[in-house]
Structures are given as structure tokens and as C-alpha cells.
Amino acid sequence: MKILIADDDAVSRMIMERMLRQIGYEVTAAENGRDAMERLLDKDGPRMALLDWMMPELDGPEVCRQLRTLHGHRYVYLILLTSKDSREDLVAGLDAGADDYLIKPCNPAELKARLRTGQRILRLEDTLVAAREDMRFRATHDALTSLWNRGRILEFLHSALQASESTAILLCDIDHFKRINDVHGHLAGDAVLREVAARLRGAVREDDAIGRYGGEEFLIVLNGCDARCLPERAEQIRKAVSEGGSIMDGVTTISVSIGAIAMGGDDAAPLPVEAILNLSDTALYQAKSGGRNRVVIADRLVANHAH
């Protein structure tokens, strides 16, 4: 594990560096508090630090204080090194945000034991952060496809319509999906859903969004896409699914029907989200009834037939 030693005394710093390397740490050093702060804020900076109490630029307690005010920054375990042994001073150091303290000169065995405690705290912190991120992911993503779930993609749609002058919405439905489930079983159906999700994801840009709208339906939001570019973009997405090759034995072809609409870029009054989704659904119905594997644009209801 990487650890920072910050001390303006070169001899003390050298002794501590040697001690830390002997017990297996990767050591980086700083001569003052400002330099220590910069190293700790680096994206790949140390997760543990030994900070001398008295340093130029920023003292040890001030480094602790400033680091703790940065919400969202990964947790760093901070130990103050001090010759101060009064209860008031130690309380002041801990109140500043230090996790622990060591009285100089440090005993090697005590240093090793306190650093092990720090490692346990960091492992616990990492476990809690991972659990929180997993819960956040589960709350906003579909478990089967890992796409955004219905609630999250609708939130994105609301935001996109408010923020962008032109936004396109595509409602995509897997063709003959019930037949796949009936003939090949639900495990095959799940595999098809995952594969279609992957193909759709690969066909959109980073600033676009895609979510599982429900069942075999997917909702795609294209930022900055108006009525002029929508037919081409929608056709590219349709082809990304239908021309993606076989999925598994017995399911060699798959396609989607798409109902789409472009909002913004004209003088028409904005529509509420429910009305936009209803128009997309109507266009999707026309694409399905018109032979499937095609795109229907809701604002013009022009069918772009698959070739």
C-alpha cells in the first residue's frame, strides 16, 4: 500500500521512510503541508499519511482539516506525528480530522500496529462504499440487461427535454419475442434481451441514453437529434440489431421495430412526456403492423422499410 510521510526535517523523514519500506509500504514523501495536500489529492495518491504536526505552508492539523472538508474525496487515513503529548493538543489534532497520532520518536512495533489498524479501517470503508454503489446501481438499473430501468430513463428524458433544443425518442420492441420464449424457453429469451441491449448500447453515443422500458421494449433518448437526422440515426440503430449476426443455436436472427419522434427545432409547442411517449407508441404499433423490422417516425408517420 502507498503511504505519504510529510515532515520538513530531512533526517526524520529519511528515518521514517526507511522504517516504512522495511515493513512493506510504498513510500512517497513531502517536505511541507502544501506539497502533502497536493499529493493526497492526486487521483492515485496515497490512502494513508503520516503528517508531522509542525510544517511550513500548512501544519499537520490544517492538512487534516482541509482534506476532511472535501466531500466526495476518497477516504485517507491520517496519523499525526507530534512531540506534543498534552491531552488538549491531542484532542485538537483529532478534532482537526486526524484518525490517530504517534508521539515522536516512533517505536517501530507501535507504528506497524497502528498502520495495521488504519488498513482495517480502509478495507471497511472500501466495503461500505462498494455496497453503497451496488445499491445505487440496483436502484437505477435493470437487473437483466444492466441498462437504466424505466424510472431512471424517464427521469433522463424529462431532463433532456428541458435542457436540449432538440431531442429524439425511440421506442424499440423486439420482434416475435413471445415466439422466442415459447419455442426456446425463457432462458433463451433472457439471452436475447441481453444481446439486444448490448447491440442497442453499442449503437448510441456516450451522451445518449438507453433504458429497458418494460418487457421486451427499450427506450432510447438521443440528445441533439432533430427531425432531419432522426431517420438516419433510427435506421442505424435498427440495423445494429438486425445485422448483428446470430445470437445462439436456434435463434439466428433478431430484429426490432421502432417508433420514433423528434422534439424541438421547430415552432411547435412543446409536448408533455406522456404525449410524446403515446406518439412513439402509436408509431411503434404502425411499425409492428406494417411488417416489423422497420422504423416509423411519429411526427411524419413515414415508414422506413428494411431492405
What is the average per-residue pLDDT within 36-42? 91
In a domain, 145, yes or no: no
Report residue 88's pLDDT band, with 50, 70 and 90 as the boundaries. confident
Q: Residue 250 pLDDT more than 70?
A: no
Question: Taking residues 211-231, what's their average pLDDT?
Answer: 94
Residue 263, classed as helix, strand or coil, is strand
pLDDT exceeds cutoff 80 at 205: yes
The verdict on 278 and 176 lying in the same domain is yes
At 236, which CATH number?
A: 3.30.70.270
Q: Do the Cβ atoms of 209 and 164 come closer than 8 Å? A: no
Q: How far apart are CA 190 and CA 192, in angstroms?
A: 5
Amino acid, res. 90: L
Q: How confident is the model at residue 268 (pLDDT cuts 50, 70, 90)?
A: low
pLDDT at 267 over 60: no
What's residue 193's pLDDT?
A: 96
The answer to whether residues 220 and 79 belong to one domain is no
Average pLDDT over residues 79-83: 88
Residue 144 lies in a domain: no
Residues of the chain with pLDDT > 70: what percent? Answer: 94
Predicted local distance difference test score (pLDDT) of residue 89: 77
CA pair distance 181, 37, nearest whole angstrom: 58
Q: Is residue 163 part of a domain?
A: yes
Residue 245 has pLDDT above 50, yes or no: yes
**Of 138, 169, 202, the domain-final residue:** 138
The answer to the question of residue 143 being in a domain is no
pLDDT, tens digit (0-9, with 9 covering 90-100), for 5-19: 999 989 888 888 988
CATH number of the domain enclosing 104: 3.40.50.2300
Task: Please indicate, yes or no, if residue 296 is contained in any of the structural domains.
Answer: yes
Residues 180 and 293 in one domain: yes
Q: What is the pLDDT of residue 265?
A: 63
Which of 138, 163, 185 terminates a domain? The answer is 138
Look at 131 and 247; give whichever has higher pLDDT: 131
Residues 230 and 183 in one domain: yes
Whether residue 269 has pLDDT greater than 90: no
- For residue 300, the model assigns a pLDDT of 42
208, 151 in Cβ contact below 8 A? no
Question: Does the pLDDT at position 304 exceed 90?
Answer: no
More confident residue, 282 or 43: 282
What's this model's pTM, rounded to 2 decimal places? Answer: 0.69
**Mean pLDDT, the chain, integer:** 89
Same domain, 156 and 290: yes
160 and 277 part of one domain: yes
Find the domain containing 73 and state its range.
2-138
Average pLDDT over residues 55-78: 89
Out of 17, 195, 216, 217, which one is annotated catalytic? 216
Q: Determine the average pLDDT of the residues in 122-147.
A: 93
- Grid cell of 11 as nine digits: 533526517
Q: Is residue 30 part of a domain?
A: yes
Same domain, 76 and 170: no
- Burial bucket for residue 216 (CB in 10 Å: 0-12, 13-18, 19+): buried
Length of the chain: 307
Are residues 160 and 297 both part of a single domain? yes
Contacts of residue 156, defined as CB under 8 A and 6 or more positions apart, other chains included, come to: 148, 209, 211, 221
pLDDT tier for residue 93 given thresholds of 50, 70 and 90: confident
pLDDT of residue 266: 61
Domain co-membership, 134 together with 173: no
**Residue 5's beta-bridge partner residues?**
29, 50
Start-to-end CA span in the chain (Å): 58
At 244, the pLDDT band (50, 70, 90 cuts) reads: confident
Q: Are residues 54 and 168 in the same domain?
A: no
In a domain? residue 170: yes
Kindly tell me the sign of the dihedral angle through the C-alpha atoms of 262, 265, 268, 271: positive
| Co-location of 70 and 201 in the same domain | no
- Quote the pLDDT of residue 306: 45
Q: Is-catalytic flag, 216?
A: yes
Does residue 204 form part of some domain? yes
Q: At which of 103, 138, 173 does a domain end?
A: 138
Q: Using 50, 70 and 90 to split pLDDT, how confident is the model at 286? A: very high
How many domains, in total, are found in the chain? 2
- Shared-domain flag, residues 164 and 300: yes
